[in-house]
Structures are given as C-alpha cells and as structure tokens.
Amino acid sequence: MSSQELIERARQMLNAASQRSTGQKPTNENNAKKLKARLANRVPKGNLQPIWMATEARVISCEREVVTLNRSRLRTTGDAIKFTVSFTYYAHARTHYDSFTSTEAKAKGDGFSVFYNALDPKQNAKSVSDFENRSARSAIGVAGYILISVMFLMIARG
C-alpha cells in the first residue's frame, strides 16, 4: 500500500468511528454485524463449573462453642464438644478469612489444606467433596420441600 492509500484508509476509519460515537449507523453494516458475531463468540456461555484450587490455610483462632439449654426442651442432645475454628488463606492476591465447626481443637498457627473456587475465591472447602456434598444436600432438601408441598395441596383439595 502506498502512503496515499494508507492516509485514505485511516480517514475512512476515523469517519466511521466518529459516526458511531454520534449515534449514526456505520457506513458498512456488514462489518458491524461480523464484529458483533466475533465478540459474541468470545463471551463464555452457560454456567461455568467451578475450578477448585488447593492452597495452605492457617488457623487464627479456635474457640469452644458454648451450648445453652432451653427449659422447654425435654431432652438433651448427645452432641460432642464443638470448636469454632477461624482460619485465613491467600488466594488471587488477597487474604480471605473464614471459619468452620470441628469436633477437635486446632492450635493457633496450624496449617491445613483448603480448596477454593478459582472463579470466586471467597468460596472454600476443606476438601472438594465437602462443597459438592453441601450442594447435593441442599438440592435434596429443596426437592423434599416441593414434594411435601404438593402432597399437602393434594390432601387439601381431596
């Protein structure tokens, strides 16, 4: 291309850009449609599955849970002693804090492996199966609630 052709091509591109910014239609409608199609192909579609990554977590505190009994309660539960363990982990250039309940005490500064969601580093689990089981249990709970509701409606109509 000669310099004259380059200057003319640059002028056409500037005109097209100024027309787009002022709200006018671009001179070449087909190019605009092709550009939109290319950009649409780059956008991820559907729900992305979480990518679980491992990192090292450190215990920052371990406190024994205080259990209080209600006078209206007729029986006591045989729950084991429980501890609330607070921990911190580093993921994606940020420090995150969380806690979990444990039946055994952890010493301050102890390390353990934790898995976090690479798409949302605030989500974590001590193992990948912990998070997946939690999702399955909630799905079963919702399905049970719907089933009981439908049965109640059938009895009420019946």
Q: Cα 66 vs. chain centroid, distance in angstroms?
A: 31
Distance from C-alpha of 121 to C-alpha of 91, rounded to nearest angstrom: 6
pTM beyond cutoff 0.85: no
User: pLDDT (tens digit, 0 to 9) for every residue of the chain, 158 residues total?
Assistant: 677 787 787 777 777 766 655 555 555 666 667 666 666 666 555 566 778 889 999 999 999 877 655 566 555 555 567 889 999 999 988 999 999 888 888 999 999 999 998 888 898 887 544 545 555 566 777 778 888 888 888 898 87
For 112, the token pair is 């353990």
